[in-house]
Amino acid sequence: MDVTVLPILNLREHQATQSLSCFISTPGTSANKTGRFSLAYIPPPSLAHSTSLRAAQPRPLCFNQSVLTMDNSKPEYLPPRGERAARHSKEVPGGSAVTQPPPGFPLTLSSPLAWTRNEMEGDAHKYILRLSDEHIFALETGLRRFGDFPRQGDISDEDFPLPNDLVRELRRISDQCYRGPGFAVIKGLDPTKYTAEENLKIYASIAAHVAPHHGFVNHDRTKVVAYVMNEENGPGSSRAPGFTKDALAFHTDSSEILSLFAINVASEGGSTLISSGYHLYNQLAQMRDFSFQDPAKYPPIHRAMLHAADANNVCFTFSRYPMTGYKQRQRDPSLPPLTEAQLEALDTVQHILEENSIALPWDKGDIVFINDMAIFHARTAFQEQEGSGRELVKLYLHDPKQQWPVAPTAQENWNKLFVPKKQNNASRDEWNLVDKSGENSLSNG
């Protein structure tokens, strides 16, 4: 069986989505071998729902692969910064320059999501909500009325009513995630004051007013809460990079709104970095050495992942981990080596995001909400004190009042994350208070 590594550009000019992807495809099979780098774009609804457009057939194109194949059967998950920068600046043979994005893609993205490091470093304080003593008292009062977690995964704002002024502030956070810079931080909680279950209830109640629908966080689709911890010394020490104390490359989690609650932080390091995918798009749109050819001999196999956008937005799904592997968790050895162009693409993305990143201003007890469709995140390496490890609680969230249209190619995967829980015989076990293992968790880190 022939296995081909292709950076793929699917131009579905006559469908409601287009996606720019770099992933491993196995011609003649029905599934990808690993992850991909995707851009998705949806034209205005007036075009997306046109009868003539629905009936038309897509015309796929792909990148030229006349490039040198390297001996990199074990490419590094995160090479040294200088090495990435050098690869980013290098000219790669093959292909003529393209001075603008292909048809169907915006020439540039002008949006509050398209921020730069210089702009955001001075403005990040605008996106911090500091809970007052009155707000915390209201949250603690709600704990006494709440009772057990519901059988269904969602906790609505009706389950946990809050004062009107706090509700307005939490709704503003939803606006900031979907229509602002793509992130917000809540400060003021002290998790040492509460039990593990009380912390989770307070977190879930706050999230219910920001984005009330919860997505599944594990492959079995049985849990809506996950824990991000260093498990390098636990049973079966071969872990995905997100469950170690090493640095994480920039990635998305294939969610809609990613939320994290810092129950405890590292004694040293462990900063969460964020970077604008929209700024990345504008930078990539100006780059050289893009050429295209008909991929009829190597038809792409495309399993879309939460490609959600409207007429002025693109959506990213990206991780270098499936392409490079990580320590003992190596990429599929049956796959051919990555080409120099593919390594350059991976390192270029990392380099641009790294140069434009800011460290989130959050600490122990803080909650962050991130637009996972438009904002990339990463982590610096960290150290822990014995008996006091870094611990984050993670939710995948969706606000039906704010959501971007879901592309048809993304609908199946979106349903796997956010399908109404009443259709899945859900149980209270969805709210996981015991098993903090990262095994089987959904993580692109």
β-pairing, 18-25 with 4-10?
antiparallel
- Please indicate, yes or no, whether residues 214 and 154 belong to a single structural domain of this protein: yes
Q: Which residues are within 8 A (CB) of 205 and not within 5 positions of it... i.e. 6 or more apart?
A: 139, 142, 146, 155, 159, 160, 162
Using the 3D structure, point to which of 286, 318, 353 is the last residue of a domain. 353
Quote the pLDDT of residue 136: 97
- Please indicate, yes or no, whether residues 249 and 122 belong to a single structural domain of this protein: yes
Is the residue at 153 inside a domain? yes
Is the residue at 410 inside a domain? yes
Query: Given 3-state DSSP classes, what are the helix, strand and coil percentages for the chain, each rounded to the nearest 5?
Result: 30, 20, 50
For residues 84-108, b (16+ Cβ closer than 10 Å) or e, as one string?
bbebbeeebeebeeeeebeebbbee
How many domains, in total, are found in the chain?
2
- Please indicate, yes or no, whether residues 409 and 381 belong to a single structural domain of this protein: yes
Listed residue (322, 317, 409, 345) closest to 24, CA to CA: 322
> Could you give the CA distance from residue 113 to residue 275 in angstroms, rounded to a whole number?
10
CB 13 within 8 A of CB 60: no
Using the 3D structure, point to which of 328, 353, 378 is the last residue of a domain. 353
- Please indicate, yes or no, whether residues 248 and 340 belong to a single structural domain of this protein: no
Quote the pLDDT of residue 55: 28
| DSSP-based three-state secondary structure for 276 | strand
Dihedral angle sign, alpha carbons of residues 207, 211, 214, 219: negative
Using the 3D structure, point to which of 319, 353, 387 is the last residue of a domain. 353
- Please indicate, yes or no, whether residues 210 and 290 belong to a single structural domain of this protein: no
- Please indicate, yes or no, whether residues 219 and 148 belong to a single structural domain of this protein: yes
Quote the pLDDT of residue 48: 31
> Could you give the CA distance from residue 134 to residue 163 in angstroms, rounded to a whole number?
9
Q: Which two tokens stand for residue 402?
A: 């704010």
Segments in the chain below pLDDT 50: 1-73, 91-98, 235-237, 290-309, 423-424, 426-429
Tracing tokens 């692109």 back to the chain, one arrives at 444
- Please indicate, yes or no, whether residues 47 and 69 belong to a single structural domain of this protein: yes
Listed residue (430, 438, 267, 248) closest to 354, CA to CA: 248
- Please indicate, yes or no, whether residues 390 and 414 belong to a single structural domain of this protein: yes
Listed residue (140, 207, 203) closest to 167, CA to CA: 207
Q: Which residues are within 8 A (CB) of 207 and not within 5 positions of it... i.e. 6 or more apart?
A: 155, 214, 259, 395, 397
- Please indicate, yes or no, whether residues 241 and 341 belong to a single structural domain of this protein: no
β-pairing, 272-276 with 4-10?
unpaired
Quote the pLDDT of residue 76: 78
User: Which CATH number characterizes residue 136's domain?
Assistant: 3.60.130.10
Quote the pLDDT of residue 262: 93
Quote the pLDDT of residue 163: 94
- Please indicate, yes or no, whether residues 87 and 37 belong to a single structural domain of this protein: yes
- Please indicate, yes or no, whether residues 166 and 266 belong to a single structural domain of this protein: yes
Is the residue at 91 inside a domain? yes
Is the residue at 438 inside a domain? no
Q: Which two tokens stand for residue 293?
A: 């050819």
Is the residue at 442 inside a domain? no
| DSSP-based three-state secondary structure for 348 | helix
Is the residue at 435 inside a domain? no
Q: Which two tokens stand for residue 296?
A: 């009829």
CB 262 within 8 A of CB 363: yes
For residues 345, 348, 353 and 354, what is the CA-based torsion angle, rounded to 10 degrees?
A: 130
- Reported as a single tens digit per residue, the pLDDT across 341-388 is 778 878 888 899 999 999 998 899 999 999 999 999 998 887 767 777
Quote the pLDDT of residue 145: 79
Give the global pTM: 0.77
Domain span holding position 44: 4-113+277-353
CB 377 within 8 A of CB 370: yes
Is the residue at 436 inside a domain? no
Is the residue at 71 inside a domain? yes
- Please indicate, yes or no, whether residues 290 and 201 belong to a single structural domain of this protein: no
Quote the pLDDT of residue 105: 66
